[in-house]
Amino acid sequence: MDYRIIVSGAIGLIFIGLIIFSRRAARLEWKLKDIILTSIIGAFFAAVSHGTALFARGPISLILAPIGLGGLEFEFVFGIFFFSSTFAGYIMRKPGVATIVGLLTGFIQILLGSPAAATVWLSGLVQGFGAEMGFAAFGYKKWNLLSVLASATTATIASFLLAWQRGSWHELPFQIVALRFTIRWISALIISGFLTKWLADRLAKAGVLKSYPLGEGANEFTGE
């Protein structure tokens, strides 16, 4: 079985989905406050993601190499790369938000001088759309820890498919590929899942997000 065909097909489905959801998002009314928040989140987490990438290539790589985990440094921090999409999607609760913020985060990293400038925009787009799928699975009607964790999971899957295609991971031993996916998924669940919801809920309760859907229901927040 040629796994490259399967992965290529999956990526093709991702882009078909992007077209469908871009049309749905275009029909929604975007207010100035939505554009402002989207820009702030995209810019801030682009800087965070850029710094994380540099940190992974340096200190983390030096720590993991001696214990036989060299080359896996990015997997331990991958959840940071999805954070902007799950965070924005959970706060704003509009179809297309996670995808747009993911793409914006990628583009801004190019401006920051990312070593992966040629491809980081595509990574942001795929990761954002992957996060989008987690919220879409609940029809954009359920906004709790489960939907946020689902968003982190689908972002992991989408990003992994893209990495598989780029890196010819079908040629690697199954154990290595499985280890990569497991570490990336755990990182996503912790950072883009639990941490995303915790931070967004705290901001909402503090009144910072009162102009957005999450903030409007902050008084009813139960932590579920």
Q: Write the pLDDT tens digit of every residue in 63-107.
A: 766 666 667 777 888 999 999 999 999 999 988 899 999 999 988
Percent of the chain with pLDDT strictly greater than 70: 77
The predicted structure's pLDDT at residue 67 = 67
Number of helices followed by number of strands (H, E) in the chain: 11, 0
Among residues 52, 72, 51, the alpha carbon closest in space to that of 61 is found at: 72
Mean per-residue pLDDT over the chain, rounded = 82
Domain extents in the chain: 3-25+33-213
What is the structure's pLDDT at 19? 47
Residues 118-139: what's their mean pLDDT?
90
User: Which residue pairs, CB below 8 angstroms and at least 24 apart, start in 28-33?
Assistant: 28/94, 28/95, 28/96, 30/94, 33/211, 33/212
User: Using 50, 70 and 90 to split pLDDT, how confident is the model at 54?
Assistant: confident
Give the rounded distance of the alpha carbon of 53 from its chain centre: 15
Q: Which helix (H) or strand (E) holds 192?
A: none
User: Shortest CA distance to 113 belongs to which of 46, 163, 60, 166?
Assistant: 46
Highest mean pLDDT among 48-52, 116-120, 183-187: 183-187
d(CA 29, CA 94): 9
Higher-confidence position of 51 and 192: 192
3-state secondary structure 74-125: HHHHCHHHHHHHHHHHHHHCCCCHHHHHHHHHHHHHHHCCCCCCCCHHHHHH
Q: Give yes or no for residue 221 having a pLDDT over 50.
A: no
Query: At residue 21, does pLDDT exceed 60?
Result: no
The alpha-carbon radius of gyration of the chain (Å, integer) is 17
Give 29-45 pLDDT, tens digit per residue: 778 888 889 999 999 99
User: Phi and psi for 103 in degrees, rounded to 5?
Assistant: -65, -45
* Residue 129, number of CB atoms within 10 A of its CB: 27
Comparison of pLDDT for 161 and 149, the residue scoring more: 149
Among 10-19, 42-51, 96-105, 196-205, name the one with the lowest average pLDDT: 10-19
Cα angle, residue 184 at apex, residues 179 and 190 outer, rounded to 5°:
130
User: Of 95, 85, 106, which is closest to residue 38 (Cα–Cα)?
Assistant: 85
Residue 165: CB atoms within 10 A of its CB come to: 17
Q: How far is CA 65 from the centre of its chain?
A: 26
